[in-house]
Amino acid sequence: MISEKMVKAINEQINKEIYSAYLYAGMAIYAGSVGLNGVMNWFQLQAKEELGHAAKFMAYVNEQGSRVMLKAIDAPDQKFTSVASLFDKTLEHEKEVTASINSLVFLAKKEADYATDGLLQWFVKEQVEEEASVADIIQKLEIGGKAGNSLLILDGILAQRK
């Protein structure tokens, strides 16, 4: 069984994961509204993945004999100006999530909670992949000049994500 302090911290992380899904759903809607269905697809799948992360935490809390306590989800900022701004905001957000996961790891180690630390190592690796994936897209946008044919090519590539 995990400590109440750890449960509280994981419950906060669940809220952050659901917020992430909400943020990415809004980004998907924006991308679709400007005719970039591939970018929309990428963000829709990203939102679904974030809900999967929340579900993974929820299942863990339940398996440990504790209770998930959901909280209200704040509305994310929906003022987007370009596809580049979507991905810049995404990278910034993923770095915040990484910092949050790292704080959970610190707490688990401090409490000698080896089971939770084991779970969290999956998330540590996942965050490395998340940040690298978004940084790669940003780099492609920068190389292509963030507009024109290169944006359409990238849109086609992102449409292939499953």
The tens digit of pLDDT for each residue in 83-135 reads: 989 999 999 999 999 999 999 999 999 999 999 999 999 999 999 999 999 99
pLDDT value at residue 155: 67
For residue 162, the model assigns a pLDDT of 73
* Helix pair angle (37-63, 83-110), 10° resolution: 10
- Structural domain of 21: 4-159
Query: Residue 149: which CATH number?
Result: 1.20.1260.10
Q: Dihedral angle at the C-alpha atoms of 123, 124, 126, 130, nearest 10 degrees?
A: 120
Amino acid at 67: R
> Does pLDDT of 161 surpass 80?
no
The answer to whether 91 touches 47, Cβ cutoff 8 Å, is: no
- C-beta pairs of 127-130 under 8 Å, 24+ apart in sequence: 127/94, 127/97, 127/98, 127/101, 130/94, 130/97, 130/98
pLDDT band at 13; cut points 50, 70, 90: very high
The whole-number pLDDT of residue 152 equals: 65
Q: Which residue has the tokens 């999530």?
A: 97
If you average pLDDT over residues 46-56, what whole number do you get? 98
Is residue 129 within 8 A of residue 162, CB to CB? The reply is: no
What pLDDT band is residue 148 in, cutting at 50, 70 and 90? low
pLDDT of residue 60: 98
In the prediction, which pLDDT does 141 show?
84
- The structural domain count of the chain equals 1
Better pLDDT: 77 or 47: 47
H helices of the chain, in order, are 4-33, 37-63, 83-110, 114-144, 149-159
